[in-house]
């Protein structure tokens, strides 16, 4: 007797890549713009860049990912005559779920999403010839004769997982924004941007939740709510992650030893710094320094 089978749904599938680069961009980087009939995203792994589209101009910094829907004109340039490292990945996908990425669509990757992207880069270094960080790569990727078993399939799987996670996050944010209200408190993108800007400018400090409430003139409930709605986490955890994001940047740039980095970010001891780094990234600072994106940052492209 044949047992019934359950056919798993495929909400989103990708079978074709168009381009896949990991590039070190010079301080003179500029592209006049283009448009094409496939999806593309830009991820900033180091530095800052500016991209412009028919919909607006976007200042991107380390950790930001920006999507370009098909036939959207877009271009980019360096900011403040500084270098940057970016990932450019374009692909075909006709799944209805991709509608989430239409229009203005930018995310700041969370740690788990960043790790998935790092897996995509790692497989891209092994699956294609030339590898994705090569200065000689141009156009469509080509299979490497020495590719490991299943590398291209892992790229596809990781990419689909990353997109699905981002779709879920954006839908959850939209639902939260539609139902959450902060009675008597100022909310919105402008206020959260000011709060985040303040925290980014004071990464060498340590605050209590009550101190942040006094600084931002907001109640404890209001502060917790506005960060939860806009970032998915609380204010204190967001501040901790900003510190670790900065620590990762300093490690990638080989800017000081771990003790100096910990001190510059206001940690009372290297032990406290390492413990929080491990909690947030699931890696020790030493392990992160050896990780794939830390290594690819040092390779010219």
Domain check: are 212 and 268 in the same one?
A: yes
Residue 206's CATH number: 1.10.10.60
Is 6 part of any domain? no
212 domain residue, yes or no: yes
Average pLDDT, the chain: 88
Mean pLDDT value of segment 78-95: 92
Pick from 62, 177, 40, 174: nearest CA to 109: 62
Q: In this predicted model, what pLDDT tens digit does every residue of 194-233 receive, in sequence order?
A: 899 999 999 999 999 999 999 998 988 889 888 887 777 8
Closest CA to 75 of 101, 49, 107: 49
State which H helix or E strand residue 91 sits in: strand 84-92
Range of the domain at 207: 180-296
- Claim to verify: residue 287 and residue 210 sit in the same structural domain: yes
CA–CA distance, 216 with 88 (Å, rounded to integer):
37
Same structural domain for residues 163 and 21?
yes
Mean pLDDT of 136-146: 87
Taking each continuous run of H as one helix and of E as one strand, the counts in the chain are 10, 9
Distances, alpha carbon 248 to alpha carbons 5, 59, 287, in Å: 46, 20, 11
Single out the residue in 135, 158, 174 at which a domain terminates: 174
Q: Do 135 and 225 sit in the same domain of this protein?
A: no
Q: Give me the pLDDT at residue 184, please.
A: 40
Q: Inform me whether the pLDDT recorded for 186 exceeds 80.
A: no
pTM (two decimals): 0.63
Question: Which tokens hold the place of 279?
Answer: 């909690």
179 pLDDT band, cuts 50/70/90, is low
Tokens of 2: 């044949």
Number of structural domains found in the chain: 2
pLDDT band per the 50, 70, 90 thresholds, residue 178: low
pLDDT at 199: 95
pLDDT at 177 over 90: no
- pLDDT of 189: 65
Give the distance between the most distant pair of CA atoms in the chain.
70
Give 35-62 pLDDT, tens digit per residue. 999 999 999 998 889 999 988 999 998 8
Residue 97 has pLDDT above 50, yes or no: yes
Residue 59: both structure tokens together: 């200042």
**In-domain check, residue 7:** no
Residue 188 pLDDT grade (very low, low, confident, very high; cuts 50, 70, 90): low
CATH value at residue 111? 2.60.120.280
Q: Please provide residue 256's backbone torsions phi and psi, each rounded to the nearest 5 degrees.
A: 100, 160
Residue that is last in its domain, among 123, 145, 174: 174
Q: Which of 147, 174, 201 represents a domain boundary (last residue)?
A: 174
DSSP H/E element including 50: strand 48-53
């Amino acid at each position: 007797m044949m047992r019934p089978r359950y056919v798993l749904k495929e909400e989103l599938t990708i079978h074709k890549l168009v381009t896949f680069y990991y590039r070190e961009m010079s301080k003179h980087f500029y592209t006049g713009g283009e448009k094409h009939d496939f999806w593309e995203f830009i991820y900033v792994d180091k530095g800052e860049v500016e991209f412009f589209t028919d919909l607006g101009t976007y200042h991107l910094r380390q950790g930001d990912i920006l999507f370009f829907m098909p036939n959207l004109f877009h271009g980019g340039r360096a900011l403040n005559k500084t270098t940057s490292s970016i990932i450019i990945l374009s692909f075909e996908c006709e799944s209805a779920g991709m509608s989430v990425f239409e229009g203005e669509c930018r995310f700041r990757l969370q740690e788990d999403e960043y790790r998935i992207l790092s897996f995509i880069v790692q497989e891209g270094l092994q699956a294609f010839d030339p590898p994705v960080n090569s200065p000689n790569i141009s156009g469509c990727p080509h299979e490497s004769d020495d590719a490991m078993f299943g590398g291209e399939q892992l790229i596809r799987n990781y990419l689909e997982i990353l997109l699905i996670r981002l779709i879920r996050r954006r839908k959850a944010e939209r639902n939260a924004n539609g139902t959450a209200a902060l009675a008597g408190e100022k909310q919105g993108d402008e206020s959260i941007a000011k709060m985040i800007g303040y925290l980014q400018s004071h990464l060498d400090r340590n605050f209590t939740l009550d101190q942040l409430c006094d600084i931002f003139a907001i109640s404890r409930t209001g502060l917790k709510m506005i960060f939860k709605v806009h970032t998915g986490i609380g204010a204190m955890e967001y501040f901790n992650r900003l510190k670790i994001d900065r620590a990762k940047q300093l490690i990638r740039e080989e800017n000081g030893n771990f003790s100096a980095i910990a001190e510059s970010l206001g940690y009372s001891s290297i032990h406290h710094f390492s413990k929080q780094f491990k909690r947030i990234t699931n890696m020790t600072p030493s392990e992160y320094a050896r990780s794939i994106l830390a290594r690819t940052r040092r390779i010219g492209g």
